[in-house]
């Protein structure tokens, strides 16, 4: 009996611990904000009430806020960082962000951005604070104990910077008056690793899940789009109450726009007097808003933006089938910003390019619903999004990404570099592979675990985060099988949405689904810059059997798919698992593979025995799918002309 109770207690304790680990604690916030915008001075004042729930097991003696707009001042960290990177040449060009360059250094006093705190109280008691440029350090009169919620009341003022990066006013390319991202003092994230008061010098964000209640008072001629649902749509009109309705009259000089969003970690809005509004109701799904700039006298681009709305409706079923359900009641594609930048329930895009539209919308899955720390794991944000974007684009256009290279070769059939590239990249995600190979050749690659702001070059960051991150997912399909990888994406969504997953969380999902160990893949692909290079070394015949020696030249080990073609038109596929995997992938097509014994990673070569005569073989190829990111595919294929 005693043993029974001990066993029962152990099982219950294990279940509680497992549940606690999977449900990982996280802080919670509730913002209530009201701002008053002066469109003549481009300044606004605001009041913010923040209810902050400490769900950690630590007492907090201080908190931190982001004051992002303080970066838009001459000699700021963002300004100097951009100008310093501009001194480096990559492919003969300055390595700075082309949208920033040295523009911040030339801003006048009425063009800079700033966020200033007028007063701040915790539970009614004044608190002291210190500015660290884009970070506000707040020293608390008493600690916030575990499990306790406190209320911060803040009054602040801000000046909207001239459009530089993501945020700002009077965008010279789009003509949009206000792109309002990172516009409010935002509490920094505190998680199991501690505080994340990341200064704003270039890129990437990390925020606390919560609810937002935002009221924006602005000149009545302005029209807005943003995060959340417009709760006073009946008094606003302009297509928010019913499609096609005009902006309703307003008796006061300023109009109040009241938005609410739940279970989100940021809030964006944009405003312009000339905005136009298109909306679509997805059957059984969200309302989609497309808001774009159309000043009087400008050439009409309504057709392009209508195409955005219709394309979003078309691709949503494919997205939800492959990546998970979209859980929010609305999504807005808003012209603004400086390219494309994602936010909860909305994105700022400078134009109606469908590639950008699909990419930014997919960020709803791989950032807005996952909420990973982008600064530390940018590849989980941008890379997973780029992977999904490629497939969504293929679904919409009915063609793989490699077709662009094939079309280019048809126009220039003598281009040897293009021929070589086409022979090196797979059918899907071909652009990502091409970018990665270029980065390897440049010698500027850094590990993917590098903090996003601390890369030595913008070029290295961009390819690592977007392209190498995209390859991580496609190459995972090569290792464990494409169908297993596809199911893993859904399991990842269902398990970790709204929970701030990290790389190990994804790897564990992949291991459980595939039955294959993948810690080695994480270590090599994410934490190192070691490259893959396998070669067909030699062939010979012994006692009527053919021996094929494969050689590992690169420093990253991988499982090997080896395809053989014979004179009689038959084929064989041989799979060589890596010993670190402790398993092998299931068949991916109708050709049942011959699973060889495992290749021990320490051994530089491996010999495959084929029960056919050497002269029967006409073709030998390592990884015919080209999903393995082999940096030199010239030695992967051997043609035998007997």
DSSP string of 12-36?
A: HHHHHHHHHHHT----EEEEEEEEE
| In the predicted structure, residue 134 carries a pLDDT above the cut 90 | yes
| Check whether domain 22-208 has CATH 2.60.40, yes or no | yes
Task: Supply the pLDDT for residue 212.
Answer: 98
3-state helix, strand, coil in the chain (%, to 5): 30, 30, 40
Mean pLDDT calculated for residue range 347-358: 96
Q: Are 510 and 488 in contact (CB under 8 A)?
A: yes
Q: In whole angstroms, what is the distance from residue 430 CA to residue 316 CA?
A: 23
pLDDT tens per residue, range 377-407:
999 999 999 999 999 999 999 999 999 999 9
Q: What are phi and psi of 53, to 5 degrees?
A: -100, 115
**Which of residues 14 and 220 earns the better pLDDT score?**
220
Burial 226-235 (b: 16+ CB within 10 A, else e): bbbbbeebee
Q: In whole angstroms, what is the distance from residue 407 CA to residue 409 CA?
A: 5
* Cα-Cα-Cα-Cα dihedral sign, residues 385, 386, 392, 393: positive
pLDDT tens per residue, range 461-503:
999 999 999 999 999 999 999 999 999 999 999 999 999 999 9
Q: Are 159 and 35 in contact (CB under 8 A)?
A: no
Angle of the 302-323 helix axis to the 354-362 helix axis, nearest 10: 40
Report the predicted TM-score, pTM, of the whole model to 2 decimal places: 0.94
Both structure tokens of 526:
């994410």
| In the predicted structure, residue 336 carries a pLDDT above the cut 50 | yes
CA of 615: how far to CAs of 220, 515, 547, in Å?
82, 38, 12
| In the predicted structure, residue 538 carries a pLDDT above the cut 50 | yes
Q: Are 359 and 250 in contact (CB under 8 A)?
A: no
295: pLDDT confidence band, cut at 50, 70 and 90?
A: low
Q: In whole angstroms, what is the distance from residue 250 CA to residue 235 CA?
A: 9
Task: Supply the pLDDT for residue 157.
Answer: 98
* Cα-Cα-Cα-Cα dihedral sign, residues 492, 493, 494, 495: positive
Task: Supply the pLDDT for residue 23.
Answer: 65
pLDDT tens per residue, range 553-596:
999 999 999 999 999 999 999 999 999 999 999 999 888 999 99
Task: Supply the pLDDT for residue 477.
Answer: 98
Domain extent listing, the chain:
22-208, 394-527, 534-639
Q: What are phi and psi of 523, to 5 degrees?
A: -65, -45
Q: In whole angstroms, what is the distance from residue 574 CA to residue 580 CA?
A: 18
What integer best gives the mean pLDDT of the chain?
A: 94
Counting Cα atoms < 13 Å in the Cβ hemisphere of 150 gives 23
- 90's enclosing H/E stretch is strand 89-90
| In the predicted structure, residue 91 carries a pLDDT above the cut 80 | yes
């Amino acid at each position: 009996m005693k043993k029974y109770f001990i066993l029962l207690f152990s099982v219950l304790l294990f279940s509680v611990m497992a549940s606690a680990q999977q449900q990982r604690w996280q802080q919670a916030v509730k913002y209530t904000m009201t701002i008053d915008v002066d469109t003549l001075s481009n300044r606004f004042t605001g009041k913010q009430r923040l209810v902050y729930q400490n769900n950690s097991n630590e007492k907090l003696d201080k908190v931190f806020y982001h004051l992002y707009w303080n970066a838009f001042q001459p000699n700021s960290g963002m300004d100097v960082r951009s100008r310093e990177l501009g001194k480096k040449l990559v492919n003969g060009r300055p390595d700075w962000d082309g949208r920033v360059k040295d523009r911040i250094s030339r801003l006048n006093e009425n063009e800079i951005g700033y966020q200033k705190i007028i007063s701040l109280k915790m539970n009614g008691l004044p608190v002291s604070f210190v500015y660290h440029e884009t970070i506000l350090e707040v020293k608390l009169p008493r600690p916030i104990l575990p499990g306790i919620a406190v209320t911060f009341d803040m009054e602040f003022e801000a000046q909207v910077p001239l459009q530089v990066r993501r945020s700002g006013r009077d965008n010279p390319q789009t003509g949009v008056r206000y792109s309002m991202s990172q516009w409010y003092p935002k509490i920094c994230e505190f998680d199991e690793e501690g505080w994340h008061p990341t200064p704003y010098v270039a890129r990437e964000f990390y925020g606390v899940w919560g609810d937002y209640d935002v009221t924006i008072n602005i000149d009545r001629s302005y029209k807005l789009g943003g995060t959340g649902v417009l709760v006073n749509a009946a008094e606003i009109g302009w297509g928010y109450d019913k499609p096609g309705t005009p902006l309703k009259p307003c008796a006061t000089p300023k109009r109040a726009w009241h938005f609410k969003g739940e279970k989100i970690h940021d809030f964006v809005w944009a405003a312009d007097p000339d905005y136009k509004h298109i909306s679509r109701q997805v059957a059984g799904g969200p309302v989609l808003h497309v808001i774009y700039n159309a000043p009087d006298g400008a050439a009409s681009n309504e057709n392009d933006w209508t195409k955005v709305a219709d394309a979003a409706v078309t691709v949503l079923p494919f997205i939800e089938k492959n990546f998970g359900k979209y859980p929010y009641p609305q999504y807005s594609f808003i012209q603004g910003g400086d390219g494309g930048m994602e936010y909860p329930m909305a994105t700022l895009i400078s134009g109606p390019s469908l590639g950008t539209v699909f990419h930014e919308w997919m960020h709803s899955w791989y950032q807005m619903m996952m909420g990973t720390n982008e600064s530390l794991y940018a590849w989980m944000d941008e890379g997973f999004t780029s992977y999904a974007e490629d497939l969504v684009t293929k679904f919409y256009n009915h063609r793989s990404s490699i077709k662009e290279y094939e079309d280019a070769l048809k126009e220039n059939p003598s281009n040897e570099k293009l021929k070589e590239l086409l022979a090196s990249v797979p059918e899907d995600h071909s652009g990502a592979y091409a970018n990665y190979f270029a980065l390897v050749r440049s010698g500027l690659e850094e590990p993917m675990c590098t903090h996003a702001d601390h890369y030595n070059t913008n070029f290295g960051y961009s390819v690592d985060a977007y392209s190498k991150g995209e390859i991580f997912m496609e190459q995972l399909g090569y290792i464990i099988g494409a169908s297993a990888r596809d199911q893993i994406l859904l399991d990842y969504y269902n398990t970790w949405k709204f929970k701030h997953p990290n790389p190990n969380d994804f790897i564990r999902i992949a291991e459980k689904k595939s039955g294959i160990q993948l810690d080695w893949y994480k270590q090599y692909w994410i934490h190192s810059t070691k490259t893959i290079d396998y070669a067909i070394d030699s062939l010979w015949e012994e006692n009527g059997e053919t021996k094929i020696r494969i050689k590992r030249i690169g420093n990253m080990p991988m499982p090997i798919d080896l395809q053989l073609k014979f004179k009689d038109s038959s084929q064989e596929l041989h799979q060589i698992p890596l010993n670190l995997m402790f398993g092998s992938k299931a068949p991916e097509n109708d050709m049942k593979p011959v699973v060889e014994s495992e290749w021990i990673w320490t051994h530089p070569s491996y010999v495959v025995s084929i029960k056919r005569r050497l002269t029967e073989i006409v073709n030998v190829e390592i990884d015919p799918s080209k999903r393995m990111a082999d940096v030199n595919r010239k030695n992967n294929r051997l043609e035998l002309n007997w």
